[in-house]
Structure 1
Amino acid sequence: MMTPSKSEIKLIRSLAKRKNREENGLFVVEGEKLVQEAIESGWDIVAVFTTDEIGEDLMSRITLLSSPSPALAVVRIPKPTSFTSPDLNILSLALDSVKDPGNLGTIVRLSEWFGINTIYCSDNCVDVYNPKVVQSTMGAIFRTKVVYTDLTKLIDELQGKLPVYGTFMNGNNIYNESLPKGALVVMGSESEGISPDIESLIDKRLAIPSFSISEKCSESLNVAIATAVICSEFKRSSV
Structure 2
Amino acid sequence: MVVKSQIKFIKNLQQKKYRNEHQLFVAEGVKLVRELLESDFGVYGIYTTDLGLVKKSELVHLISEVDLQKMSGLKSPNKIIGVFHYPKERDILITDWVVVLDDVRDPGNLGTIIRLCDWFGIDQLVCSLNTVDCFNPKTLQATMGSLGRMNIFYTDVIHFLKNTTLPIYGAFMNGTTVYEEQFPENGVLVMGNEANGVSAEVEALIAKKIAIPQFGKSNTESLNVATATAILLNEIRRR
TM-score, scaled to structure 1: 0.92
**Residue among 17, 21, 28 paired with 2:15:** 17
CA deviation map 1:110-141 (0-9, x unaligned): 10110001100000000001111111100100
Gaps of 5+ in 2: 51-61
**Residue among 201, 205, 210 paired with 1:206:** 210
**Residue among 54, 60, 75 paired with 2:69:** 60
When structure 1 is superposed on structure 2, of 123-132 and 53-62 the one drifting more is: 53-62
Q: Which amino acid aligns with 2:28?
A: E
Gaps of 5+ in 1: none
Q: Runs (4+) of structure 1 moved beyond 2 Å?
A: 83-87
Matching of residues 26-175 of structure 1 within 5 Å: 26-52=24-50, 53-81=62-90, 83-84=91-92, 86-87=94-95, 90-158=96-164, 161-175=165-179
State the shift of 1:65 in Å: 2.2
Output the CA distance in 1 between the equivalents of 2:93 and 2:206. Answer: 17
Count how many residue pairs are aligned between Structure 1 and Structure 2: 228
Output the CA distance in 1 between the equivalents of 2:34 and 2:218. Answer: 47
State the shift of 1:71 in Å: 0.7
Output the CA distance in 2 between the equivalents of 1:63 and 1:195. Answer: 36
State the shift of 1:57 in Å: 1.7
Output the CA distance in 1 between the equivalents of 2:238 and 2:206. Answer: 22
CA deviation map 1:158-209 (0-9, x unaligned): 2xx2100001111111111111121100000101100111000000000101
State the shift of 1:219 in Å: 1.1
Indicate the residue corresponding to 1:228 in structure 2: 230
Output the CA distance in 2 between the equivalents of 1:190 and 1:42. Answer: 31
Structure 1 residues 234 and 35: CA distance shift in structure 2, 3 A:
same
- The answer on whether the counterparts of 2:93 and 2:124 sit within 8 Å (CA) in structure 1 is no
**Residue among 199, 214, 218 paired with 1:215:** 218
Structure 1 residues 47 and 95: CA distance shift in structure 2, 3 A:
same
Output the CA distance in 2 between the equivalents of 1:65 and 1:107. Answer: 22
SS at match of 1:119: strand
Output the CA distance in 1 between the equivalents of 2:75 and 2:160. Answer: 37
Percent of residue pairs identical: 44
State the shift of 1:215 in Å: 3.4
- The answer on whether the counterparts of 1:208 and 1:226 sit within 8 Å (CA) in structure 2 is yes
SS at match of 2:109: helix
Output the CA distance in 1 between the equivalents of 2:231 and 2:42. Answer: 34
State the shift of 1:38 in Å: 1.4
